[in-house]
């Protein structure tokens, strides 16, 4: 039967429904167009299929066409419309349509509206829908419980649960599945898991509920628990196997399960494909991804839009942008997710011009620019440090009405900050009509990254006074500001407030507190905070290992890593960076090489520039300069300025002039205005007695207006920050400070402790080197108590 012939309405409706359910929307649409005089049921079949895959624009277009033909939409039409909404603005539009047509208070439609508002975090609108519903049943009550649970309002959710029981409704497997399906809190998920166990829905009970429990554990990072649930299922179906792939510990295991499924003859579906692609993408295994792509092509899954999108995303993460573009081009239909994925891939992999071209091509009649598109382009502006592009996107957002979208505005605030325009970030933040926690976090993060730590604390205080509800990320950012100022006292106050706000076992807060204590030199408090942290909080383990590394406690760092292995906590790149830093500070070359090798061999982790920098630093410290240079030459990554500066510093310490000159040349090629390169090379020349070269470097610095940034330190006293700079004669108490420094220096000399002395190049006509303690920077608090503010 060919497309293009008139079909019997009953047969065409069945075909439309079949192809729509199997994500072949192009064929579903073809059969719909070949149907003479389609009725409401035909429209519902296509609307349901389009809504299932988030095609809101075409769904609304079909709905308008249905009404234009004089057909009456029914409850199934409206419920499909509701299911198709992804953004809160779309849900509000459809909600208005439901109210006008008299479907706004029926249980079937209301449950969908509540679910959409819940996913958008709009609890107020969800509660209004619940109150206005005239036919509250088990489905509506479950939707409201889900709404509260998904948004962390567990006490309110339990109250509705009690109401459900009081009204005589019983929780069934579908109610529990709905409750657990959107949870990201493993503790609450375990409680629902326990209820299902008592009601007999696990093991040989409800396969539907078992699959949902597996999905919850995998989503919350408890993959071993997900595997345990799977192992107890007597007859797993394809959904169970798909969730098992999602719970795989790595891409190789996921691919092995996928191959095992196919060998057993168990049919896979489009969701199986997306799960296995997601698993191999996380590992950067493009070779396995190509094999999965071959299966997709053979079995026709490339016609399914979200499978094509998963392939694009996989190739993006593997850095194979040519392959990602090929998939995009062969897809029968590209939705906004397809375009956004490719733009994000170009952005993440540094193809700025291609990302911008895609954005330009996207703005046509067939695809809609959304908040995720703009977020990707703003990331391009951030990564390329393009203030001009940020301003252009700001204008576009104003023109197209995106300034009411909290997510995009937060991205704009962050982008201005990363482009070095903190004032523009402040302006956008102050112009927001209703400040949300997303705006606040973006602004706080911008201030902290710009070293405006006092301003960030002031903003936080104003927020607390305004009664704006904050989240755990807010507290973690503010604690980061306290860490940067090494202000343990103020940090403890912020931590107390976080505990009062209910964030006593939050991974962001736990990690920030450990980091604060370490930065402030209080390892014992950091250890105490770590003992109370969640066992599966990898960031907390990393913070503690890094803290030990910073304080030279290398044995403690190694023992903690061994405990991680016992607890089956999978390390990441940050874990190994902390271990290598410990080795570097302790001069443990053999241990560092062992850890470096185990990254790839034991955990499939690819060393980054930071890891190679540690190895170069360590080799330089122990005097193996040739090995350090060989490490740089054999790195699979292009060395950056930092690595050459580390090698130059090592050459300066060990007096290797020839290699130092090579390192300095490479460093100045990458950063022509790097003052450290000139100073280190100048010191190297001076130690070799090459005073003409020293003078030449000084002249070059003057001609290029390169100046050495003075060393600085600070101290907080009675609520005020006091800053001190080397040789600062503008400070109102500089005479007393220098006198104190002189006494301390004499004491160091008497105690035969070498001060931090720097070789200075000749200043003027005297060819003899002079010595100064201009970097012996000790923070001395103001000696006169009457003065609070330092210049």
Residue 176: which pLDDT band, with cuts at 50, 70 and 90? confident
pLDDT over 70, % of the chain: 84
Number of CB atoms found within 10 A of residue 401's CB:
9
pLDDT of 709 reads 67
Q: Which of 262-271, 430-439, 501-510 has the lowest mean pLDDT?
A: 262-271
Q: Are 226 and 239 in contact (CB under 8 A)?
A: no
What's the Cα-to-Cα distance from 542 to each of 487, 578, 592, rounded to whole Å?
21, 7, 17
Tokens of 21: 């359910």
Q: Which of 276-280, 496-500, 622-626, 762-766 has the lowest mean pLDDT?
A: 762-766
pLDDT of 374 reads 92
Q: Which residues contact 18 (CB under 8 A, 6 or more apart)?
A: none
**In 3D, which of 601, 551, 542 has the Cα closest to residue 572?**
542
Q: In sequence order, what are the beta bridge partners of 527?
A: none
Q: Which residues contact 417 (CB under 8 A, 6 or more apart)?
A: 425, 442, 445, 446, 447, 449, 450
- State the Cα–Cα distance between residues 19 and 11, nearest whole angstrom: 12
Q: In sequence order, what are the beta bridge partners of 384?
A: none
Tokens of 10: 């009953």
Q: Are 449 and 422 in contact (CB under 8 A)?
A: no
Residue with the two structure tokens 């009062």: 500
- State the Cα–Cα distance between residues 237 and 211, nearest whole angstrom: 9
**In 3D, which of 553, 483, 477 has the Cα closest to residue 515?**
483
- State the Cα–Cα distance between residues 346 and 326, nearest whole angstrom: 13
Tokens of 87: 């953004």
Q: Are 451 and 723 in contact (CB under 8 A)?
A: no
Q: Are 782 and 722 in contact (CB under 8 A)?
A: yes
Query: Rounded mean pLDDT of the chain?
Result: 81
What's the Cα-to-Cα distance from 205 to each of 179, 210, 228, 244, 743, rounded to whole Å?
18, 8, 16, 18, 80
**In 3D, which of 534, 529, 515 has the Cα closest to residue 448?**
515
More confident residue, 708 or 497: 497
Tokens of 27: 């064929």
Residue 718: which pLDDT band, with cuts at 50, 70 and 90? low
Summarize pLDDT for 725-734 with one digit per residue, the tens.
766 677 777 7
Residue 429: pLDDT above 50?
yes
pLDDT over 90, % of the chain: 28
Q: In sequence order, what are the beta bridge partners of 770?
A: 760
- State the Cα–Cα distance between residues 642 and 620, nearest whole angstrom: 14
SS3 27: helix
**DSSP assignment letter at 775:** T
Q: Which of 193-202, 641-650, 666-675 has the lowest mean pLDDT?
A: 193-202
CATH class of the structural domain 608-709: mainly alpha
**DSSP assignment letter at 752:** T
Question: What's the chain's Rg over C-alpha atoms?
Answer: 31
Pick from 137-141, 543-547, 685-689, 787-791 the range whose average pLDDT is largest.
543-547
Residue with the two structure tokens 């194979």: 320
What pTM, to 2 d.p., does this model score? 0.68
- φ/ψ of 203, rounded to 5, equals 55, -110
Summarize pLDDT for 324-346 with one digit per residue, the tens.
999 999 888 788 888 999 999 99
**In 3D, which of 5, 74, 4 has the Cα closest to residue 39?**
74
Residue 784: pLDDT above 70?
no
**DSSP assignment letter at 133:** -
Summarize pLDDT for 182-217 with one digit per residue, the tens.
677 777 788 888 888 887 776 656 788 888 888 888
pLDDT of 614 reads 94
Mean pLDDT of 415-428: 94
Mean pLDDT of 270-279: 88
pLDDT of 213 reads 87
- State the Cα–Cα distance between residues 272 and 237, nearest whole angstrom: 12
- State the Cα–Cα distance between residues 37 and 33, nearest whole angstrom: 10
Q: Where are the domains of the chain?
A: 608-709, 714-772
Residue 482: which pLDDT band, with cuts at 50, 70 and 90? very high
Summarize pLDDT for 733-763 with one digit per residue, the tens.
778 877 887 888 788 777 654 444 444 344 4
Residue with the two structure tokens 């389609």: 38
Summarize pLDDT for 284-305 with one digit per residue, the tens.
678 888 999 998 888 888 878 8
Residue 786: which pLDDT band, with cuts at 50, 70 and 90? very low
pLDDT of 573 reads 92
Q: Calculate the dihedral angle through the C-alpha atoms of 710, 715, 716, 721, rounding to the nearest 10 degrees.
A: -10
Residue 601: which pLDDT band, with cuts at 50, 70 and 90? confident
SS3 771: strand
Taking 3-state DSSP, the helix, strand and coil percentages for the chain, each rounded to the nearest 5, stand at 70, 0, 30
Residue 100: which pLDDT band, with cuts at 50, 70 and 90? confident
Would you give the end-to-end CA distance of the chain in angstroms? 86
Q: Are 538 and 508 in contact (CB under 8 A)?
A: no
- State the Cα–Cα distance between residues 430 and 435, nearest whole angstrom: 9
């Amino acid at each position: 039967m060919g497309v293009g012939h008139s079909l019997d309405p009953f047969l065409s409706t069945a075909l439309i429904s079949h192809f729509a359910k199997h994500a072949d929307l192009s064929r579903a649409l073809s059969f719909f167009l070949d149907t003479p005089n389609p009725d409401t049921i035909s429209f519902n079949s296509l609307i349901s299929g389009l809504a299932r895959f988030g095609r809101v624009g075409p769904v609304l277009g079909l709905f308008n066409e249905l009404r234009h033909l004089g057909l009456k939409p029914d409850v199934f039409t409206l419920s499909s419309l509701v299911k198709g909404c992804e953004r809160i603005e779309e849900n509000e539009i459809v909600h208005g349509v439901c109210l006008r047509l008299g479907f706004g208070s029926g249980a079937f439609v209301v449950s969908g509206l509540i679910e959409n508002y819940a996913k958008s975090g709009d609890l107020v609108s969800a509660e209004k829908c619940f109150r206005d519903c005239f036919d509250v049943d088990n489905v509506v009550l479950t939707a409201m419980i889900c709404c509260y649970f998904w948004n962390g309002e567990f006490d309110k959710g339990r109250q509705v649960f009690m109401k459900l029981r009081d009204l005589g409704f019983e929780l069934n497997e579908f109610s529990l599945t709905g409750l657990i399906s959107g949870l990201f809190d493993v503790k609450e998920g375990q409680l629902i898991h326990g209820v299902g166990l008592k009601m007999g829905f696990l093991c040989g009970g409800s396969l539907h509920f078992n699959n949902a429990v597996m999905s919850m554990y995998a989503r919350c990072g408890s993959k071993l628990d997900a595997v345990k649930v799977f192992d107890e299922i007597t007859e797993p179906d394809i959904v169970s196997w798909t969730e098992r792939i999602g719970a795989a510990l790595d891409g190789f295991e996921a691919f092995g399960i996928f191959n095992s499924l196919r060998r057993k003859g168990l049919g896979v579906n489009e969701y199986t494909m997306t799960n296995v692609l997601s698993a191999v993408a996380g590992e950067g295994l493009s070779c396995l991804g190509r094999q999965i792509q071959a299966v997709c092509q053979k079995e026709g899954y490339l016609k399914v839009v979200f499978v094509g999108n998963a392939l694009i995303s996989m190739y993006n993460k593997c850095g194979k942008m040519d392959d990602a573009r090929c998939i995009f081009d062969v897809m029968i239909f590209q939705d906004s997710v397809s375009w956004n994925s490719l733009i994000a891939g170009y952005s993440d992999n540094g193809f700025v011009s291609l990302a911008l071209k895609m954005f330009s091509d996207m703005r046509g009649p067939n695809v809609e620019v959304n908040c995720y598109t703009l977020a990707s382009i703003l990331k391009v502006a951030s990564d390329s440090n393009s203030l001009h592009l940020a301003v252009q996107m700001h204008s576009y957002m104003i023109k197209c009405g995106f300034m009411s979208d909290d997510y995009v505005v937060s991205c704009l605030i962050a982008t201005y900050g990363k482009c070095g325009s903190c004032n523009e970030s402040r302006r956008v933040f102050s112009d927001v009509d209703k400040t949300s926690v997303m705006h606040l976090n973006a602004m706080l993060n911008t201030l902290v990254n710009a070293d405006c730590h006092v301003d960030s604390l002031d903003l936080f205080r104003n927020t607390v006074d305004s009664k704006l509800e904050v989240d755990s990320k807010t507290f973690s950012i503010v604690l980061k500001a306290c860490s940067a100022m090494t202000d343990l006292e103020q940090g403890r106050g912020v931590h107390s407030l976080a505990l009062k706000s209910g964030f006593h076992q939050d991974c962001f807060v736990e990690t920030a507190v450990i980091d604060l204590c370490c930065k402030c030199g209080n390892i014992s408090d950091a250890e105490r905070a770590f003992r109370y942290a969640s066992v599966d909080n990898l960031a907390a383990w990393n913070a503690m290992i890094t803290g030990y590394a910073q304080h030279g406690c290398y044995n403690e760092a190694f023992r903690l890593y061994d405990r991680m292995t016992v607890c089956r906590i999978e390390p990441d790149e940050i874990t190994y960076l902390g271990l290598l830093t410990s080795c570097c500070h302790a001069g443990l070359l053999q241990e560092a090489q062992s850890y470096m090798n185990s990254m790839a061999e034991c955990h499939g982790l690819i060393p980054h520039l930071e890891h190679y920098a540690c190895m170069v630093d360590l080799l330089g410290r122990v005097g193996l300069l040739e090995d350090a240079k060989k490490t740089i030459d054999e790195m699979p990554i292009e060395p950056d300025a930092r690595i050459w500066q580390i090698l130059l510093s090592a050459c300066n310490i060990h007096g290797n002039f020839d290699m130092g000159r090579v390192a300095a040349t490479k460093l100045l090629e990458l950063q022509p205005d790097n003052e450290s390169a000139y100073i280190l090379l100048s010191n190297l020349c001076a130690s070799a007695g090459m005073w003409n070269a020293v003078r030449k470097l000084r002249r070059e610095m003057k001609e290029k207006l390169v100046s050495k940034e003075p060393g600085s330190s600070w101290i907080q006293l009675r609520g005020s920050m006091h800053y001190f700079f080397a040789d600062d004669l503008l400070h109102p108490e500089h005479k007393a400070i220098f006198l104190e420094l002189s006494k301390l220096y004499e004491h160091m000399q008497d105690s035969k402790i070498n001060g931090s002395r720097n070789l200075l190049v000749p200043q003027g006509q005297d060819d003899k080197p002079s010595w100064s303690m201009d970097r012996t920077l000790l923070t001395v608090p103001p000696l006169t108590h009457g003065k609070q503010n330092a210049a």
